[in-house]
Structure 1
Amino acid sequence: MGVDLADLVKDVKRKLVLYEVKGKKVSIDGYNALYQFLAAIRQPDGTPLMDSLGRVTSHLSGLFYRTINILEEGIIPIYIFDGKPPEQKREEIERRRKLKEEAEKKLERARTEGRIEEIRKYSQAIIKLSNEMVEESKLLLQAMGIPTIQAPSEGEAEAAYLNSSGFTWASVSQDYDSILFGANRLIRNLTISGKRKLPNKDVYVEIEPEIIETENLLKKLGITREQLIDVAILIGTDYNPDGIKGIGPEKAYKIIKKYGKIEKAIEYGEIPKSLITFDINEIRKLFMNPQVIKPDRELELAEPDEEKIIKILVKDHNFSEDRVKNGIQRLTKAIKELKGLSRQKGLDQWF
């Protein structure tokens, strides 16, 4: 879910000119991207793509073809995958599980009554990403020559760390949590750009990549990153999903802008102490000092393994062999060009 900072970032976010990322690495929140593929790549009735055995393949299709598109734009993707979630996230995970159960019941009713739009809606709401799907996604990326990292905990925190530490130029996610985790730049819509249907409407809109630069955001708001985390805590994060009742983004911002921190707002009676049912400092620490690891190897592109790609997509999951082979040709060319660009940059430093 992530924290809802949309109202606070609207004046600083801008359209991303892909050329400014050319030749640069970006750290992509892998789970976030896979969920986007599962939600967006659907059949007309709302069900995901499947192979002959009924196994979902939307995530593999999105991962293969969208990653190739990203590479052809001259961008080097590094995919980061979640490890064990913090204990404080248990409530949010349980909430999501219950929502999926409710959506499954509504989906069955919609199917029985033939309500097409509701079938599409609830089919997306019950999206599940199994461990098997994640592991196969990693194998596909490795076969494609794309670097992957297994995070010790939150994938988005690791992606933000790679960015703030200079391993990547930006963090890529749909969630704004990357900013709270310390990313210097957050790119949204990179993995799902293109025409998308609005929920519950027969209307399509063009989704374009956008970028939010943390320094500009904090300067515009006139607060620190830690104060922005306090704003998020008041709104509600994955670690305290309910936040404080009656406090939305604008009100939370005004409170922190005025008092500097949550404790001061409580001290002066702006927020009743009885409404604080969570450990404020513990949540701050999860954002300010998340569990991350330093890469133990160079995050470089490798030569694609055509045989492994064909096994995963064509032999195991019935993808079109012609389409996959065409994709492999594009993939190989894009990686070769990016490696050439990287070598040229290396040589430029000597002249």
Structure 2
Amino acid sequence: MGVKFKDITNPDTIEMRELDGKILTVDASNLIYKFLTTMRQGDGSPLRDLNGNITSHLNGIMFQTSTLIDLNIKPIYVFDGKAPILKKKTQQERIEVKKESEAKYLKAKEVGDTEKARKYAARTAQLTHEILESSKKLLELMGVPYVESITEGEAQAAYMAKRSDAWAVVSQDYDCLLFGAPRVIRNFRLTKSNYEMEIISLQKTLDELKLTQQELVDAAILVGTDFNEGCYGVGAKTAIKLIHEYKNVENVLKNTKYSMDDSNVDEIREIFLNPQIQEYYDTTFKKPKKDELMDFLCGDHDFDEVRTEHAIAKIQNKCAQTNLEQWF
């Protein structure tokens, strides 16, 4: 979910053609979760193979990634590592929401309310160990690199963009700005929809808000992050005003009516400003393993052979145009 910064950012719209030749770090958990919530059957249940295994994520990764590569866009997936201890409460709250949604989904399905069933079913999606591991296996067979973070995937993705190993981070979460990503692409999708794809520039945001990076993080702490609840009644705009006047969280709590548990403020700042990151990673794209891909997707998970071969061909055709390492 991340910090609620929609009201204080001023994104620009961006079209897919503008990403031609760009390398993007993709918040894997964020994107895979989107596939799990959107790629579903009419009653809201996820796509499955004949053995009952969920395949929505495999479908999304295979066909979207192959299309991106065909469009000369280079995605590098970044997976979460071990979450900070401070995130435990947020994780537990999300589990409770999913349990509640599961009960509502079953009730709606029982009474034949397809619309509600689909809505609540999407909220029950979970990134299980099996889903994450099968996603990594698919990427390996496709020859698409991925990086496993030490902690938060957004922190690693932002770091890679800051090092110019990628042009932007693909994620729905504004947290990427707090981790220092120079550009964040939201509403990332290949198909037309009611949502325009948008890009947020960190420097433009800081300039418009007249804040430093640390002050932006402090504003987020006042609003509430995945690592703290924030101050009751403080939204993004109020937080910015408070930081402008009092400069940091400690001064706000000392000089205003607002209160929160301030014992973890320094620790939360450290998570965003100096996160644990993987400094050494391999971003080499390799040729897809066609036979193994066909066995994995069509043999193990009942994908359509013609459609799968077409997707693999997109990657292979790009490989054939030039030396793969030079191209990427």
Task: Please give the TM-score of this superposition, normalised by the length of structure 2.
Answer: 0.95
User: Are the structure 2 counterparts of residues 328 and 193 from structure 1 closer, same or farther at C-alpha, using a change threshold of 3 Å?
Assistant: closer
User: Are the structure 2 counterparts of residues 278 and 34 from structure 1 closer, same or farther at C-alpha, using a change threshold of 3 Å?
Assistant: farther
**2-structure distance, mates of 1:94, 1:332:** 43
Q: Kindly provide the amino acid, as one letter, of the partner of residue 176 in structure 1.
A: Y
3-state SS, counterpart of residue 279 of structure 1: helix
Report the counterpart of residue 295 of structure 1 in structure 2: 280
**1-structure distance, mates of 2:178, 2:241:** 18
1:6 equivalenced with 2:6 (yes/no): yes
- Match among 188, 194, 211 for residue 191 of structure 2: 194
**2-structure distance, mates of 1:338, 1:182:** 34
Report the counterpart of residue 315 of structure 1 in structure 2: 299
Report the counterpart of residue 219 of structure 2 in structure 1: 231
**1-structure distance, mates of 2:317, 2:183:** 28
TM-align CA RMSD: 1.8
- Match among 240, 251, 255 for residue 238 of structure 2: 251
**2-structure distance, mates of 1:110, 1:278:** 43
Is the contact made by 2:28 and 2:79 (CA closer than 8 Å) also made in structure 1? yes
Q: Kindly provide the amino acid, as one letter, of the partner of residue 67 in structure 1.
A: T
**1-structure distance, mates of 2:323, 2:30:** 27
Matched residues, number: 328
Is the contact made by 2:250 and 2:262 (CA closer than 8 Å) also made in structure 1? no
- Match among 325, 334, 341 for residue 318 of structure 2: 334
**2-structure distance, mates of 1:338, 1:37:** 31
Q: Kindly provide the amino acid, as one letter, of the partner of residue 71 in structure 1.
A: I
User: Are the structure 2 counterparts of residues 107 and 338 from structure 1 closer, same or farther at C-alpha, using a change threshold of 3 Å?
Assistant: farther
Report the counterpart of residue 306 of structure 1 in structure 2: 290
- Match among 148, 156, 159 for residue 157 of structure 2: 159
**1-structure distance, mates of 2:25, 2:299:** 30
Q: Please give the per-residue CA displacement for 1:314-345, whole angstroms capped at 9, x wherever unaligned.
A: 000000011101111112123444757945x9
**1-structure distance, mates of 2:23, 2:35:** 21
- Match among 57, 69, 72 for residue 71 of structure 1: 69
Unaligned runs of 5+ in 2: none
**1-structure distance, mates of 2:198, 2:6:** 12
Is the contact made by 1:170 and 1:186 (CA closer than 8 Å) also made in structure 2? yes
**2-structure distance, mates of 1:278, 1:70:** 45
**2-structure distance, mates of 1:212, 1:336:** 34
Q: Please give the per-residue CA displacement for 1:81-112, whole angstroms capped at 9, x wherever unaligned.
A: 11111111000010001111111111121122
262-271 or 103-112, larger mean C-alpha shift: 262-271
Q: Please give the per-residue CA displacement for 1:221-260, whole angstroms capped at 9, x wherever unaligned.
A: 10011111111111111101x3211111111111112211
Unaligned runs of 5+ in 1: 197-204, 346-351
Report the counterpart of residue 280 of structure 1 in structure 2: 265
- Match among 23, 35, 38 for residue 37 of structure 1: 35
Q: Kindly provide the amino acid, as one letter, of the partner of residue 313 in structure 2.
A: Q
**2-structure distance, mates of 1:129, 1:97:** 11
Displaced runs of 4 or more, over 6 A: none
Q: Kindly provide the amino acid, as one letter, of the partner of residue 226 in structure 2.
A: D
Report the counterpart of residue 269 of structure 1 in structure 2: 256
- Match among 90, 93, 110 for residue 92 of structure 1: 90
Following TM superposition, by how much is the alpha carbon of 1:271 offset from its aligned partner in structure 2, in angstroms?
Answer: 2.2
Is the contact made by 2:284 and 2:325 (CA closer than 8 Å) also made in structure 1? no
Is the contact made by 1:71 and 1:335 (CA closer than 8 Å) also made in structure 2? no
Following TM superposition, by how much is the alpha carbon of 1:18 offset from its aligned partner in structure 2, in angstroms?
Answer: 3.4
Is the contact made by 1:80 and 1:149 (CA closer than 8 Å) also made in structure 2? yes
Following TM superposition, by how much is the alpha carbon of 1:278 offset from its aligned partner in structure 2, in angstroms?
Answer: 4.7
Following TM superposition, by how much is the alpha carbon of 1:214 offset from its aligned partner in structure 2, in angstroms?
Answer: 0.5
Following TM superposition, by how much is the alpha carbon of 1:168 offset from its aligned partner in structure 2, in angstroms?
Answer: 1.0
Report the counterpart of residue 202 of structure 1 in structure 2: none
3-state SS, counterpart of residue 42 of structure 2: coil
**1-structure distance, mates of 2:99, 2:263:** 26
Is the contact made by 1:71 and 1:331 (CA closer than 8 Å) also made in structure 2? yes
3-state SS, counterpart of residue 24 of structure 2: strand
User: Are the structure 2 counterparts of residues 39 and 174 from structure 1 closer, same or farther at C-alpha, using a change threshold of 3 Å?
Assistant: same
3-state SS, counterpart of residue 256 of structure 1: helix
**2-structure distance, mates of 1:41, 1:83:** 25
- What percent identity do the matched residue pairs reach? 37
Is the contact made by 1:23 and 1:338 (CA closer than 8 Å) also made in structure 2? no
**1-structure distance, mates of 2:322, 2:179:** 29
Is the contact made by 1:147 and 1:300 (CA closer than 8 Å) also made in structure 2? yes
**2-structure distance, mates of 1:25, 1:267:** 44
Is the contact made by 1:74 and 1:338 (CA closer than 8 Å) also made in structure 2? no
